[in-house]
């Protein structure tokens, strides 16, 4: 199986996700869950045992390629970006422009350095007005 992502950060995310599925029993748990809901809802299993086996084998042998020309992974809503203002302590959510957030943007915004220097809009504007 070949998986194509846009950058290194996305490759790391997908690698950790696939490890969760293959090495840490995630796929087994999903198969059990699939079996349970299929029984409860009296319908066919969404994926059969052979299909789980195929996916498990393929995921173990995955190749993750990077192609900088494809679109980055996006959070549609910017509510994933949060922080606590270092001056007034107010919690903020989202970004000023309200645009979608790439995974790279998210990692950057949630980094310790960014979080330690987080400013709400009011404090940010006050700081801009104050001459250094």
Give the binding site for Zn ion (CB under 5 A). Answer: 85, 87-88, 120, 123
Q: What is the closest distance, in whole angstroms, from the C-beta atom of residue 5 to Zn ion in the complex?
A: 36
Rounded to 5°, the CA angle 62-66-69 comes to 140
Question: Which is nearer to Zn ion, 6 or 92 (by Cβ)?
Answer: 92
Q: What is the closest distance, in whole angstroms, from the C-beta atom of residue 121 to Zn ion in the complex?
A: 8
Question: Which is nearer to Zn ion, 66 or 88 (by Cβ)?
Answer: 88
Q: What is the closest distance, in whole angstroms, from the C-beta atom of residue 81 to Zn ion in the complex?
A: 15
Q: Closest Cα partner for 78 from 56, 102, 100?
A: 100
Question: Which is nearer to Zn ion, 30 or 123 (by Cβ)?
Answer: 123
Q: What is the closest distance, in whole angstroms, from the C-beta atom of residue 122 to Zn ion in the complex?
A: 5
Question: Which is nearer to Zn ion, 37 or 87 (by Cβ)?
Answer: 87
Helical spans, DSSP H, in the chain:
8-22, 26-40, 49-60, 103-109, 112-116, 121-129
Q: Helix, strand, or coil here: 47?
A: coil
β-strand partners of 84 = 91
Distance CA 78, CA 96 (A): 9
């Amino acid at each position: 199986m070949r998986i194509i992502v846009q950058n290194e950060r996305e490759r790391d995310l997908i690698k950790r996700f696939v490890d969760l599925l293959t090495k840490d029993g995630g796929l087994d748990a999903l198969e059990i869950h699939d079996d349970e809901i299929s029984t409860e809802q009296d319908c066919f299993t969404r994926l059969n045992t052979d299909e789980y086996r195929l996916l498990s084998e393929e995921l173990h042998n995955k190749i993750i390629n990077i192609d900088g020309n494809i679109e980055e992974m996006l959070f549609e809503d910017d509510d994933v970006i949060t922080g606590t203002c270092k001056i007034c302590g107010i919690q903020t959510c989202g970004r000023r422009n309200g645009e979608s957030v790439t995974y790279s943007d998210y990692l950057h915004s949630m980094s310790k350095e960014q979080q330690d220097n987080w400013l709400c809009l009011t404090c940010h504007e006050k700081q801009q007005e104050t001459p250094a």
